């Protein structure tokens, strides 16, 4: 695109370089931007400068994120996990697992049609024949088994103490996502009032405050500052938007430059024709 902009008629009049030299300069300039080296000459046309500015902004952010991830990989030691997904857990014969029984999570897992979740539940039923604690509703009993080793628990949104939260490791994979709601009898006159109250609580941030107070675990454990957090393309997708906006702006500017050049040529042509008529 940079070569096309440099070779456009609106810019051709400003340089005497050949097509080959323009192509090579465009290639090395854009490649050099990735390594923060740039090129020998800055484009003269406005459209090419907009394109170069968008590309520079894109490469600077992308290179910075890559460098940060690379440093994090070497700075934070990685510990090997016995399994990293539900499929690997199902294939691991050394581990047993359970879930917080007596609630909506157990009901949802036991009635799920997903093949992996079905296999997960069937194994829990088999474990329950010899160890009834795999379906106990006592959260701390589950985590005591986790701390003893070779046991995993499907954990929902229950709150736990800092001592437990900072001594266990979370897989990070969401088995599934489902919502909970308040149910009323069909045709209940309380529905409209309840909907309005819940909407006000949500808009005022009260529900979030209650959720943070009673459900969320926001403990600051030792060593959290050295946790390796990987930045994915989803986290930096905004820089792609900036790049595309820059490309669009550059194309629009190029069109305007071409139209302006054509208008100048027509104006010059009319001026020359009028002078010729006067001289005749």
Average of pLDDT values for 127-146?
89
Most confident of 218-222, 226-230, 276-280: 218-222
Same domain, 110 and 52: no
> Can you give the pLDDT at residue 152?
92
Q: Report whether pLDDT(223) > 70.
A: no
User: In this predicted structure, what is the pLDDT of residue 225?
Assistant: 46
Residue 231 inside a domain? The answer is no
Among 64-68, 97-101, 273-277, the least confident range: 273-277
Nearest CA-CA partner of 8 in 20, 22, 21 = 22
* Distance from C-alpha of 105 to C-alpha of 99, rounded to nearest angstrom: 8
Same domain, 36 and 161: no
d(CA 235, CA 65): 10
| Band of residue 239 on the pLDDT scale cut at 50, 70, 90 | confident
Q: What residues pair up with 118 in beta bridges, in sequence order?
A: none
pLDDT at 182: 82
In 3D space, the residue among 167, 130, 144, 146 whose CA is nearest the CA of residue 95 turns out to be: 146
Contact 176, 110 (CB under 8 A): no
Count of domains observed in the chain:
2
Q: Is residue 108 part of a domain?
A: yes
Same-domain pairing of 58 and 157 = no
Domain of residue 260 covers 2-76+239-279
Q: In this structure, are 43 and 155 located in the same domain?
A: no
The answer to the question of residue 24 being in a domain is yes
Average of per-residue pLDDT across 174-178: 70
pLDDT in tens, 76-116: 666 778 888 888 889 988 999 999 888 878 888 888 888 98
According to DSSP, the residues that pair with 153 across neighbouring strands are 98
Tell which wins on pLDDT, 87 or 20: 87
Give the predicted TM-score (pTM) of the model: 0.47
Looking up residue 114, the CATH number of its domain turns out to be 3.40.190.10
């Amino acid at each position: 695109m940079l070569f096309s902009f440099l070779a456009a008629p609106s810019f051709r009049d400003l340089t005497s370089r050949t097509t080959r030299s323009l192509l090579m300069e465009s290639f090395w300039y854009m490649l050099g931007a990735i390594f923060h080296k740039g090129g020998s000459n800055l484009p003269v046309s406005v459209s090419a400068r907009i394109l170069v500015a968008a590309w520079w902004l894109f490469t600077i952010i992308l290179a910075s994120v890559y460098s940060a991830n690379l440093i994090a990989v070497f700075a934070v030691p990685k510990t090997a996990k016995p399994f990293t997904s539900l499929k690997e857990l199902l294939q691991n014969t050394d581990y047993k697992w359970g879930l917080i029984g007596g609630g909506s999570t157990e009901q949802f897992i036991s009635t799920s049609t997903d093949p992996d979740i079905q296999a997960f539940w069937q194994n829990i039923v088999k474990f329950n024949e010899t160890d009834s604690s795999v379906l106990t509703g006592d959260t701390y009993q589950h985590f005591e088994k986790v701390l003893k080793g070779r046991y995993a628990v499907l954990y929902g949104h229950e709150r736990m103490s800092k001592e437990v939260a900072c001594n266990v490791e979370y897989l990070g994979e969401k088995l599934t996502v489902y919502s909970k709601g308040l149910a009323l009898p069909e045709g209940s006159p309380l529905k409209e009032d309840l909907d309005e109250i819940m909407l006000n609580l949500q808009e005022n941030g009260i529900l979030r405050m209650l959720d943070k107070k009673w459900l969320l675990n926001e403990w600051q454990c030792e060593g959290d500052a050295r946790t390796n957090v990987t930045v994915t393309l989803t986290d930096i997708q905004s820089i792609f938007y900036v790049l595309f906006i820059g490309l669009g702006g550059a194309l629009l500017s190029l069109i305007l430059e071409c139209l302006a050049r054509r208008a100048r040529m027509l104006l010059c042509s009319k001026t020359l024709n009028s002078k010729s008529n006067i001289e005749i």
